Amino acid sequence: MSTPVTIFQTAGRAMSAQLTRMNTSASNLANAGNVAGSADAAYKTIKPVFRTSFDAASGLSTVDVERIVTAGETPTKRYDPANPMADKDGNVFEAAVDESRELVDMMESARTYQNNVEVMQTAKSLIIDTLKLGR
């Protein structure tokens, strides 16, 4: 029989998942505009895939990062024969990173992370107040 998941574990796992989401967005933004000599070698946007887990013992659901996948558009082919990365036809392939979407994802991740920090702070305050009642 397993121990029930606590609110702190639930919020902590959610924070960890949002941190992974924020890190993938940061990686995508860092690679925006990068070029390569082939479509296969060009940077591809990455995104985390989340998995919800239900804990029957506590009745709480939590989230984990299941894996990180490539997502988004295919790299953009651009004719640039002067570029040292150009292929034999003079084309380079630019990473198709939607910078606006990545910034929105990053802000959303930061807000969700902060919400989980507040959940932990509220739970801690309630536990402390409950302990004070026992005095």
Maximal CA-CA distance, the chain: 80
Which amino acid, one-letter code, is at 128? I
Two structure tokens written together for 8: 């702190």
Whether residue 29 lies inside any domain: the answer is yes
Q: Give the span between the Cα atoms of 30 and 10, in whole angstroms.
A: 30
Give the torsion sign (CA, 63, 66, 68, 72).
negative
Residue 75 pLDDT: 93
Check pLDDT > 60 for residue 64: yes
Tell me the β-bridge partners of 55.
Answer: 60
Domain ranges, residue 94: 7-134
Within a domain: residue 21? yes
Average pLDDT over every residue of 41-61: 90
What domain count does the chain have? 1
Range from 28-32, 58-62, 113-117, 118-122 carrying the lowest mean pLDDT: 58-62
Q: Is residue 11 part of a domain?
A: yes
- Residue 85 belongs to a domain: yes
10-24 residue pLDDT tens: 899 999 999 999 999
At 2 the pLDDT is 62
